[in-house]
Amino acid sequence: MEVMPTSIDIGPAGLAPEDVVAVARRGAAVRLTGAARAALGAGRKRVDVLAADSAPAYGVSTGFGALATRHIAPDLRSRLQAGLIRSHAAGTGAEVEREVVRALMLLRLRTMAGGGTGVRVETAEALAGLLNAGITPVVHEYGSLGCSGDLAPLSHVALALMGEGTVRDAGGEAREAAEALREAGLRPLELAAKEGLALINGTDGMLGMLLLACADLAGLVRVADITAAMSVEALLGTDRVFAAELQELRPHPGQAAAAANMRALLAGSAIVASHRGPDCTRVQDAYSLRCAPQVAGAARDTLAHAEAVARRELAAVIDNPVVLEDGRVESNGNFHGAPVGYVLDFLAIAAADLASIAERRTDRMLDVARSHGLPAFLADDPGVDSGHMIAQYTQAALVSELKRLAAPASVDSIPSSAMQEDHVSMGWAAARKLRRSVEALTSVLAVELVTAARALDLRAPLEPAPATAAVRDAVRTRVPGPGPDRHLAPEIAAAAGLIADGTVLAAADAVTPLA
C-alpha cells in the first residue's frame, strides 16, 4: 500500500494529489515554507498599497457582487470583511464529511501560499493552525453554486477562523469555535482588507472532492478488473478475448491496461483450462464478460482526464480579484467551476457504467439457465435456501441509484446576486453526488466479489488462478464459504471494507502486480 507523508510543506509551487489525501484523510500536518512566507508578504504589500489608494478596488474598498458599486470608507473595511463572512456562511443541510472540509481548507491555504490572494502571513498561519489542531469547521451540504468559488462552505471555515460558529474538535465533538480555538492555543483572526474575499473565492471544495474521488476510483477500477476476472472464471468464460493483439486493434490505453490485468489475473487457471478444448461448443461469451476491458478501460481513460484537470487546478491561483506579480490587482473569472464540474459529472457516468456491467455479471452467476452448472442463486439447497438472490436485488437498487446520480449537475445554472452572477457551474453539487456514486460503486463491486468468490468455491475440485485464488482467500478471512443461508448484509459490508482498505488489491498484487 502507498505510504502517506505525515507532514506537508506548503509553498508557492503547489501540492501533489497525494498530499491532499494525506492531509484530508490521514491528518498529516502542514507547514508554510520560507518561500510561501515571502510570497505572502509581497502579495500583502500590494494589497496595502491598493487599500491606501483613492481609486476603488473590488473587494478592498467596494462592496461585493451586485453591491460592488458601493465605495467603502476606510473605517468600515474591517466590518466589510467580517460581514462578508457572516452573511455568506449561510449553508444548510447535513454536515459535510471531515475529510472534505480538511481538503478544502488545505487547498485554500495552498492558493494563499502563492501570494496571489494578498492575505497576510498570519492569516495563512491561522488556517494552517486549524488543520494542525484537528479543528474542523462545520460545513453544510447546501450553499455553493460552484461559482465565485464555493462561497458558503468556505465562509463557514472563515467564520471559525474568526472564532465564530461551530466546529468539531480533534475528537469529533461539536464545540463553539471560540472555545475550541482557545483550548488549542489559537487566537481568533481579525480580517484585514480583502482577506474575507480571499478566504472564500475559490473552487477548493469541489476540487478537494474531485481529488478524493480520483484516489478512490484509481483503486476501484483495478478492483473491477479483479471481480470481472473472478466472474469470467466462475462462469466458465474464455480468456482468449483479452489477448494483447486483439486489444491493440483498438488502441485506448485504459482498455490495454484492463485487458492486461485480466490476462494476468486469469493466468494459470485450472477452471479456464478445463473448457479450453474442442469439446467446448460455446463460440463467444456475453458482453458483460467479453467487453469488461472496454468498459473498465473507458472508465480508466475518463479518470486519467479527470486527474489531468485536477493537476492543472492544483497549479492554479483561484481568487477574484487576483494580485499579479507586477503589482496590479485584476478582476477575473477563474473562480468559475466549469472545468471541475464537467469532470466530476463525467466520473459519475463512468462509475455508473462500471457498476452496471458488474451487476450483469453477478446476475449471470445466479441464473441457473446461464451459469453453466452452478446451483440456482448459488444456494446450498435451492428452494430451502435463497443464496445470493437478494444480494443481486441490492446491486440492482444501487445501480439504479448510480444511473440517477450520473445525470449531470453541471448543465444546470440558476442566476444569483441580482443577475451579476448570471451563470454558475453547480460543480459543488456534481462533487457531492460523485461521492455517493463512489460509495455505491464500492458496494456493487463488493456484491460481485462475494458472489464470484462463492461461485469459484463451487467449481471445486477445479482450482482458480493463483491471483483470483489469493483474492478469494482474502475474502474468506471475513466472509465464510458456501453453506446454508445466513445474514448477508454484514458479509457485503465486510467485502466493501476489504475493497476500501486495499486488502483486495494487495492480495492480487502479491501474486501479479496490476496496472
Per-residue pLDDT reduced to its tens digit, 221-251: 999 999 999 999 999 999 999 999 999 999 9
- Report the CATH number that the domain containing residue 114 is assigned in CATH: 1.10.275.10
- Same domain? 350 vs 497: yes
- Binned at pLDDT 50, 70 and 90, residue 51 comes out as confident
- Binned at pLDDT 50, 70 and 90, residue 418 comes out as confident
- Binned at pLDDT 50, 70 and 90, residue 69 comes out as confident
How crowded is residue 358: how many other Cβ atoms within 10 Å of its Cβ?
Answer: 31
Q: CA torsion, points 35, 38, 40, 42, in degrees to nearest 10?
A: -140
Contact status, residue 283 vs residue 333, Cβ threshold 8 Å: no
Spatial neighbors of 278 by CB under 8 A, at least 6 apart, are: none
* Final residue in a domain of this structure, among 202, 227, 262: 202
- Same domain? 282 vs 183: no
Distance of CA 288 to the CA centre of its chain: 26
In a domain, 279, yes or no: yes
Contact status, residue 392 vs residue 359, Cβ threshold 8 Å: yes
The pLDDT of residue 456: 98
Q: Cα(243)–Cα(264) distance, rounded to whole angstroms?
A: 11
Chain position carrying cell 453526488: 433
Distance of CA 401 to the CA centre of its chain: 18
In a domain, 333, yes or no: no
Contact status, residue 22 vs residue 322, Cβ threshold 8 Å: no
181-227 residue pLDDT tens: 999 999 999 999 889 989 998 899 999 999 999 999 999 999 999 99
Chain position carrying cell 502517506: 4
The pLDDT of residue 56: 74
Find residue 92's DSSP bridge partners: 142
- Same domain? 236 vs 140: no
Residue 2 clears pLDDT 60, i.e. is over it: no
- Binned at pLDDT 50, 70 and 90, residue 1 comes out as very low
In a domain, 192, yes or no: yes
Residue closest to 309 by CA, chosen among 348, 337, 268 = 337
Residue closest to 408 by CA, chosen among 348, 355, 336, 350 = 348
Chain position carrying cell 480555538: 181
For residue 56 the three cell numbers come to 476603488
Residue 281 clears pLDDT 80, i.e. is over it: no
Average pLDDT value for residue range 50-70: 73
The pLDDT of residue 269: 97
Average pLDDT value for residue range 492-509: 98
Core vs surface per residue 165-188: b (16+ CB within 10 A) or e: bebbbeeeeebebeebbeebebee
Chain position carrying cell 453554486: 145
472-500 residue pLDDT tens: 999 999 999 999 999 999 999 999 999 99
Average pLDDT value for residue range 297-325: 93
Please give the tally of structural domains in the chain.
2
Chain position carrying cell 460523485: 434
Q: Cα(337)–Cα(309) distance, rounded to whole angstroms?
A: 12
In a domain, 331, yes or no: no
Residue 287 designated active-site: no
- pLDDT, averaged across the chain: 94
Q: Cα(311)–Cα(141) distance, rounded to whole angstroms?
A: 25
* Final residue in a domain of this structure, among 135, 167, 202: 202
- Same domain? 190 vs 260: no
Which of 58, 287, 342, 393 is flagged as catalytic? 58
- Same domain? 49 vs 193: yes
Contact status, residue 430 vs residue 391, Cβ threshold 8 Å: no
Residue 59 clears pLDDT 70, i.e. is over it: no
- Same domain? 191 vs 254: no
**Domain limits for position 100:** 7-202
In a domain, 315, yes or no: no
Contact status, residue 372 vs residue 235, Cβ threshold 8 Å: yes
In a domain, 337, yes or no: no
**Biggest CA pair distance of the chain:** 90
- Same domain? 170 vs 149: yes
In a domain, 302, yes or no: yes
* Final residue in a domain of this structure, among 170, 202, 234: 202
Q: Cα(337)–Cα(333) distance, rounded to whole angstroms?
A: 10
Residue closest to 438 by CA, chosen among 169, 242, 214, 122 = 214
Residue 65 clears pLDDT 70, i.e. is over it: no
- Same domain? 441 vs 294: yes
Question: Percentage of residues in the chain with pLDDT exceeding 90?
Answer: 82
Residue 165 clears pLDDT 50, i.e. is over it: yes
The pLDDT of residue 329: 80
- Report the CATH number that the domain containing residue 378 is assigned in CATH: 1.20.200.10
The pLDDT of residue 26: 96
Give percent helix, percent strand, percent coil of the chain, each to the nearest 5. Answer: 55, 5, 35
- Same domain? 398 vs 262: yes
- Same domain? 251 vs 302: yes
The pLDDT of residue 77: 73
Question: Percentage of residues in the chain with pLDDT exceeding 70?
Answer: 97
State pTM to two decimals: 0.95
| DSSP state, residue 483 | -
- Same domain? 402 vs 441: yes
For residue 360 the three cell numbers come to 450483469
Phi-psi category of residue 261: left, alpha or beta, with phi > 0 → left and psi -120 to 50 → alpha: alpha
State the Rg of the chain over Cα: 26
- Same domain? 162 vs 257: no
More confident residue, 438 or 321: 438
Average pLDDT value for residue range 349-354: 98
In sequence order, which ranges of 174-203 are alpha helices (DSSP H)? 177-183, 195-200
Bridging pattern class, strands 29-32 and 7-10? parallel
Core vs surface per residue 255-276: b (16+ CB within 10 A) or e: bbbbbbbbbbbbbbbebbeeee
377-394 residue pLDDT tens: 999 999 999 999 999 999
Find residue 140's DSSP bridge partners: 95
In a domain, 328, yes or no: no
